[in-house]
Structure 1
Amino acid sequence: MGTHVIKMPDIGEGIAEVELSVWHVKVGDMVVEDQVLADVMTDKAMVDIPSPVHGKVIALGGQPGEVMAVGSVLISIEVEGAGNVKESAQPAAVVKEAPVAATKVETVVESKPVAAPAPKAAVCQGPMVAREADERPLASPAVRKHALDLGIQLRLVRGTGPAGRVLHEDLDAYLAQGQSNASASVAAAYAQRTDEQQIPVIGMRRKIAQRMQDATQRAAHFSYVEEIDVTAVEELRAHLNEKHGATRGKLTLLPFLVRALVVALRDFPQINARYDDEAQVITRLGAVHVGIATQADIGLMVPVVRHAEARSLWDSAAEISRLATAARNGKASRDELSGSTITLTSLGALGGIVSTPVLNLPEVAIVGVNKIVERPMVIKGQIVIRKMMNLSSSFDHRVVDGMDAALFIQAIRGLLEQPATLFVE
Structure 2
Amino acid sequence: MGEHVIKLPDVGEGVAEAELVEWHVNVGDLVREDTVLAAVMTDKATVEIPSPVDGKVSWLGAEIGETVAVGSPLVRLEVEGEGAASEAQAGAAMADGEKEAPLADGTAEEGEDVAAPPKRPQPKAPTAKPAAGAVEAAAKPAPVTAGAPRSEGEKPIAPPAVRLRAKDAGIDLRQVPGTGPAGRITHEDIDVFVARGSRPAPAGLQRRTGEEEIKVVGLRRRIAEKMALAKSRIPHITYVEEVDVTALEELRGKLNAEKRADRAKLTFLPFLMRAMVKAIGEQPAMNSTFDDEAGIIHRHAGIHIGIAAQTPAGLMVPVARHAEARDLWDCAAEVNRLAEAARNGTATREELAGSTITITSLGALGGVVTTPVINHPEVAIIGVNKMMVRPVWDGGQFIPRKMMNLSSSFDHRVVDGWDAAVFVQRIKALLETPALIFVEG
TM-score (norm 1): 0.76
1:280/1:11 Cα in 2 relative to 1: closer, same or farther (>3 Å)? farther
1:14: Cα distance to partner? 3.4
Contact 1:343 1:360 in 2 (8 A): yes
Q: Distance in 1 between matches of 2:260 and 2:364?
A: 21
1:69: Cα distance to partner? 2.5
- 1:350-408 CA-partner distances (Å, limit 9, x unpaired): 10010001011111111000000111111243321111100001111111111111111
Q: Distance in 1 between matches of 2:115 and 2:10?
A: 21
Q: Give the unaligned 5+ runs of structure 1.
A: 107-186
The letter for the 1-side match of 2:76 is S
Give 1:78's aligned residue. 78
Structure 2 residue corresponding to 1:209, chosen from 221, 224, 231: 224
The letter for the 1-side match of 2:372 is P
1:89/1:281 Cα in 2 relative to 1: closer, same or farther (>3 Å)? farther
Give 2:399's aligned residue. 384
Say yes or no: does 1:98 pair with 2:119.
no
Contact 1:59 1:97 in 2 (8 A): no
Farther off after superposition, 67-76 or 415-424: 67-76
1:90: Cα distance to partner? 6.7
Say yes or no: does 1:424 pair with 2:439.
yes
Q: Distance in 2 between matches of 1:391 and 1:13?
A: 38
1:96: Cα distance to partner? 2.5
Say yes or no: does 1:349 pair with 2:364.
yes
Contact 1:3 1:86 in 2 (8 A): no
Q: Distance in 2 between matches of 1:353 and 1:245?
A: 34
Q: Distance in 1 between matches of 2:116 and 2:339?
A: 43
User: What percent identity do the matched residue pairs reach?
Assistant: 60
Give 2:186's aligned residue. none
Give 2:277's aligned residue. 262
* SS of alignment partner, residue 390 of structure 1: strand
1:80: Cα distance to partner? 3.1
Structure 2 residue corresponding to 1:239, chosen from 241, 254, 261: 254
Give 2:183's aligned residue. none
Contact 1:2 1:86 in 2 (8 A): no
Q: Distance in 2 between matches of 1:56 and 1:86?
A: 21
* SS of alignment partner, residue 270 of structure 1: helix
Structure 2 residue corresponding to 1:289, chosen from 298, 301, 304: 304
Matching of residues 170-249 of structure 1 within 5 Å: 190-244=205-259, 248-249=263-264
Q: Distance in 2 between matches of 1:188 and 1:218?
A: 51
1:247: Cα distance to partner? 5.1
1:275: Cα distance to partner? 1.0
The letter for the 2-side match of 1:5 is V
Contact 2:44 2:219 in 1 (8 A): no
- 1:283-302 CA-partner distances (Å, limit 9, x unpaired): 11111111110111221110
The letter for the 2-side match of 1:105 is P
1:18: Cα distance to partner? 2.1
Q: Distance in 2 between matches of 1:86 and 1:40?
A: 29
Farther off after superposition, 26-35 or 254-263: 26-35
Matching of residues 60-139 of structure 1 within 5 Å: 60-82=60-82, 83-84=84-85, 85-86=110-111, 88-89=113-114, 92-93=117-118, 96=120, 98-99=122-123, 102=124, 104-105=125-126
1:53: Cα distance to partner? 2.6
Tell me how large the CA RMSD over aligned residues is: 2.1
The letter for the 2-side match of 1:96 is R
1:29: Cα distance to partner? 2.4
Give 1:271's aligned residue. 286
The structure having more radius of gyration, on CA atoms, is 2
Q: Distance in 2 between matches of 1:261 and 1:192?
A: 53
Contact 2:246 2:403 in 1 (8 A): yes
- 1:259-294 CA-partner distances (Å, limit 9, x unpaired): 111111111111111111112221111111111101
Give 2:9's aligned residue. 9
Give 2:348's aligned residue. 333
Say yes or no: does 1:374 pair with 2:395.
no
